[in-house]
Structure 1
Amino acid sequence: MKLTLVSPTALLGSAVLLSACSTPNRVEQHLGADAVIEQVTEGEYKGMYRNLYRTPVEQRQYPANCEADCYPAHPAVSCKTPAQDCQYTGPQQSPALDTGFSLQWLGHASFLVNAPDGQQLLIDPVFGQFDWPVSWAQHFAGIIKRPYTPKLSAEQLAATNAVLYSHLHYDHFSHASIAQIGTAAKYYVPLGMANYMPKGGYNVVEQGWYSHSQLDGLNIHLVPAHHFNSRKLFNDHNQAMWGGWLLEHSGKTLFFAGDTGYSEHFKDIQQRYGDIDICLIPIASYHHDKDGDWYRYVHTTPEDALVAAAELGCKVMIPWGYGNASWQMGDHSSHSPLLRLLHMQQQLNSQVPLLILNEGDSVAL
């Protein structure tokens, strides 16, 4: 018989690790009198969450459409090949808003936000293009081999006060990233998503649409998005809510739309909260040759995003979803959505100021 000696230090480390993994999370639900919870009440889909506005395929219409020549080259977008591996080189100007918010775009849907009171928030942090196991499978499928940048330091992660996740899809919600951020931050998620958090003593707040939480001087509102939710291949479709986030401090607002298609919910949000100072709105993952209508139904095209920004009363719109680290599902290339956005801004004579960022760029507003 062969005996393997294990040091007391290693045993202690293993015990601490096992203890951490078994520590239950602390979960609160913040709903309030104004919360909206849209669920199926009967039949085989009973209990599933659903969108506020549901339109049959044959009745779907959109306020604006790009019909042809949607991706012309733009002098402010410098690319290695057409619409691929690009950098925006134009002016990065926005109105003098004096909101006190600052942010860094980390790529795809991930943002680091500093609130006016100095609190640091992470929105949909996924430090890599996907969470496991999709991150593992993509290499075998030969999908998206571009590196993901930038990365946050351990000190930056440790300074995080709050983490906001919009929904469960693997490019928006990451167990690996949550493990890096740790348990010191408070995690805000839509209803039902606490069931998908890793265990280990995390502080989790679940919210319904139009409910809010308060973190010192910062109000955190969950608002509707027009999308869907799932994490597993089977049996959990729409078992948790999805949404966008509205941050408010001293009357100044920052809106993150989450993955969403165009619907009347944008007008509803403006009616409840007034014109929005800073709008982070997706412009990608809308195009697909076979199922284009489904993709657009749950993802805004660039022209949909421009219309939504006008309906929200956005004082500045920052688009996201494109980029050299984007995953390109439903897009022609890394920067085709940005080229279409700049083209449709002119076609629609949009008066919403655009602030175009490259991945890693920071801005104070």
Structure 2
Amino acid sequence: MLGITIGIVIGVFVLAYFLFVNLHPAFGADPSASDKVRFAKSPQYRDDVFRNIGGVENKMGFGDMFKSGVKYFQKQEGTVPESVPVQTLDSLEMTQYQGAGRMVWFGHSTFLWQIGGKNILLDPMFGTTPAPHPALGSKRFNTQLPLEIERLPKIDLVVFSHDHYDHLDYDSVLALKDKVERFVVPLGVGLHLYEWGVPKAQVEEMDWGEETQYENVFMACTPAQHFSGRKISNWGSTLWASWVLEVEGTKLFFSGDSGYGPHFKQIGETYGPFDMALMECGQYNELWKEIHMMPEQTVQAAIDVGAKEMMPIHWGAFKLAFHTWDDPVLRASKRSEELQMPMIVPKIGQWFTFGRTADYQENWWE
């Protein structure tokens, strides 16, 4: 009788999972047979999945993943701050702005770059939880954004680095899609956007090494060392990337998510030097060091790409690992001083300009 009961419980769980991932729109789309034929032209695509350079992959076993999953939902001291300072943005001023290039951080990896008359959004994740359902993830540290997504100005360009929930957010795409001129994404990520109602004509998918020009914005899709997937059954089904952007002589490197590797130096040799590097620094652990950098590696990666200054990103918004919430900035700050790599850490919602490192040295996280 006990065996029958356990079997029923397992059956119900499997059925619930199957219905959830197949009916909830946040999971996006899976590649079709024709999509896989298209992907097969990419050197990164082998055996029906995208792979890292040299076949690097996360070495976590199932046991480690299970233990980490259990630990994630347990309370760890210091992983969530009591509060995070957020500056409010003026939507009218933002809409009318025609000045020199400037940028603002919304927390984690989300940025708005106003430059050359363009509004460029990087990994626009404005949701409260980086998960397909609020019960499956941690809440955003700050309860209020610098500006509600509905009050953003017209967006010329949205760039996504990969399809994980803390970067590609279903509700954010729905709220943005009617005010965006163009989406530029790694191979396969467009499938999610099409599923959510974004017209194909507004989406450009790119492979590593490809370049494109959108009016006065130059973009190059460059390697990252990570993975993809929005459910267990489609890991590696879309490509992940870092990005090079240049607007009227100002060059930006956006790392996306990545473990440390030789690709950073190669990107620097091809496209550097950069006026600014937005470098992943957060949600790390020795168990998954192949796919997320430690803070000391973040600083070295900025040096590798030839950045004149850097900003640590992928922290300050969500608990996705077990380190204290401010550990990324503390360790990166120490290492940047040791290596003499200029680093800025503006507040969430604070406009900043490149080349003025000394203006953004307030240790607000203290």
Determine if the TM-score, normalized by the shorter chain, exceeds 0.5: yes
Q: Distance in 1 between matches of 2:307 and 2:244?
A: 12
CA contact (8 A) 1:284 1:331 kept: no
Question: Is 2:171 aligned against 1:176?
Answer: yes
Aligned to 1:50: 51
Aligned to 2:191: 195
Residue type of the partner of 1:221? A
Question: Is 2:336 aligned against 1:345?
Answer: yes
Question: For 2:174, what is the secondary structure of its paired residue?
Answer: helix
Q: Distance in 1 between matches of 2:198 and 2:279?
A: 32
Q: Structure 2 unaligned segments of length 5 or more: list them.
A: 1-34, 36-40, 60-77, 86-98, 355-366
2:291 pairs, out of 298, 316, 329, with 298
Q: Distance in 2 between matches of 1:210 and 1:56?
A: 21
Identical columns (%): 28
Question: For 2:173, what is the secondary structure of its paired residue?
Answer: helix
Q: Distance in 2 between matches of 1:261 and 1:123?
A: 19
Q: Measured at CA, do residues 134 and 261 of structure 1 come closer, stay the same or move farther in structure 2, by a change above 3 Å?
A: farther
Question: For 1:272, what is the secondary structure of its paired residue?
Answer: helix
Residue type of the partner of 2:127? G
CA contact (8 A) 1:130 1:174 kept: no
Q: Distance in 2 between matches of 1:343 and 1:87?
A: 21
Q: Distance in 2 between matches of 1:57 and 1:150?
A: 33
Relative to total residues, which structure has the larger helix share, 1 or 2?
2
Q: Distance in 2 between matches of 1:279 and 1:362?
A: 16
Q: Please give the TM-score of this superposition, normalised by the length of structure 2.
A: 0.70
Q: Give the CA RMSD over aligned residues.
A: 2.8
Deviation at 1:358, TM superposition (A): 2.1
Aligned to 2:210: 211
Higher-RCO chain (CA-CA 8 Å, sequence separation at least 6): 1
Q: Measured at CA, do residues 232 and 316 of structure 1 come closer, stay the same or move farther in structure 2, by a change above 3 Å?
A: same
Q: Distance in 2 between matches of 1:104 and 1:354?
A: 15
Aligned to 1:354: 343
Aligned to 2:309: 316
2:241 pairs, out of 243, 260, 263, with 243
Question: For 2:344, what is the secondary structure of its paired residue?
Answer: coil
TM superposition outliers: structure 1 runs of 4+ over 6 Å: none
CA contact (8 A) 2:79 2:319 kept: no
Higher mean C-alpha deviation, range 201-210 or range 273-282: 201-210
Q: Distance in 2 between matches of 1:150 and 1:56?
A: 34
Q: Distance in 2 between matches of 1:360 and 1:261?
A: 27
Deviation at 1:204, TM superposition (A): 0.9
Residue type of the partner of 1:319? P
Count of equivalent residues: 281
Q: Structure 1 unaligned segments of length 5 or more: list them.
A: 1-28, 30-34, 41-45, 59-80, 89-98
Q: Measured at CA, do residues 36 and 358 of structure 1 come closer, stay the same or move farther in structure 2, by a change above 3 Å?
A: farther
Q: Distance in 1 between matches of 2:206 and 2:177?
A: 21
